[in-house]
Structure 1
Amino acid sequence: MSTVRIETDRLILRPTAAEDFDAWAAFMADDVAARFLGGAQPRSIAWRYFLMMAGAWQIQGYGMFSVIERSSGRWVGRLGPWFPDGWPGPEVGWGIAREAWGRGYATEGAAAAIDWAFDQLGWTDVIHSIAPENEASRAVAVKLGATDRGPGQLPPPLDNEPVNLWGQTREQWFARRGR
């Protein structure tokens, strides 16, 4: 697990590490950044979700990556493969800290994570659960070549949150990328 490391032009994607928590907690306390991720959380709840992600890596062998900005070494978000029990499909999701918005990090990192999910995890399909009013994430999904598959249903306690499922198959992804 600790040897997984993906480098893009501007990012390092790696499993969650203890030194990421302060930045993770600040990100999840931001009402604007966390709006479509279940809402802002106090540090104590952010800690539980942080450990949940680390546990996903331990139990499933994958989870969302910590996104590290190569130029500065700072934590700027989390993104990657996510498929908890009851989820509507294998997902690559993203959440970028507000101070790093507008730089294309979500698209760059998610593309690398989708490659990894198809190549290393053997996934044949990938979804993105996006709130209908989340224009920024819809734009990322479009840049990734995903199509809106319509309304989806998340498991409790998120079952009252409206989402559309965006996605594409492995074949669609690699055809678009020329592989």
Structure 2
Amino acid sequence: MPELRTDRLLLRRCRESDLEPWAAMNADPEVREHLGELLTREQSDATVAVMQAEFGDRGCGWWALEARETGAFIGRVGLDEDMPFAGVDIGWRLMRSAWGHGHATEAALACLAFGFETLGLPEVVASMTVNNLRSQAVMRRIGMTRDAADDFEDPSVPEGPLRQCVLYRTPAEMLTA
């Protein structure tokens, strides 16, 4: 699992010390508003194990996101193939204290560069619940576009407001444009 660095962030493998803040983030109702139910500590720890295994199996997955200045864990960002549509999906989840500082945009741009330059992906997609306007704003800031014809209902989500999702896309040429 390669580490990625930006001016302010380190994208790295999860560490044991990340488990507690990751669990706190997954138990935060505001962070989980567009993701579904809150996770217990055990459920949260299990997601870290899955994230680590996926990177080894597929060459892409989820990095822990660290603020370089403080060394603090502030969330996760990555590329995921296990979605209800074709393609590689980019995503992020940050602690509330990290919201509004441009971290999601900065980390997502590093992920896009990795996906296009290292993995040779022709395109990256991003999906989010229709009501998650903050994440959709990040998608637009990193150059992604939405075609409403691509929107979908996530079959893995029970009926309700989290089932309707939007899909954004960006081709590899975006980095050279």
**Superposition TM-score, scaled by structure 2 size:** 0.90
Matched residue, 2:156: 157
Q: Does 2:42 correspond to 1:41?
A: no
Structure 1 contact 15–63 (Cα < 8 Å) conserved: no
CA deviation after TM superposition for structure 1 residue 87, in Å: 4.0
Structure 1 contact 80–114 (Cα < 8 Å) conserved: no
* Structure 2 residue matching 1:107: 3-state secondary structure: helix
Unmatched segments (≥5 aa) in structure 2: none
Structure 1 contact 56–62 (Cα < 8 Å) conserved: yes
How many residue pairs get matched? 172
Matched residue, 1:14: 12
Identity across matched positions, percent: 30
Q: Paired residue for 2:107, among 109, 112, 129?
A: 109
- 1:1-179 aligned at under 5 Å gives the runs 1=1, 4-84=2-82, 86-150=84-148, 151-154=151-154, 156-158=155-157, 160=159, 161-171=163-173, 173-176=174-177
- The 2-side partners of 1:76 and 1:64 are apart by 13
Unmatched segments (≥5 aa) in structure 1: none
Structure 1 contact 79–109 (Cα < 8 Å) conserved: yes
Aligned alpha-carbon RMSD (Å): 1.6
- The 1-side partners of 2:51 and 2:86 are apart by 18
- The 2-side partners of 1:93 and 1:152 are apart by 17
- The 1-side partners of 2:60 and 2:13 are apart by 8
**Superposition TM-score, scaled by structure 1 size:** 0.89
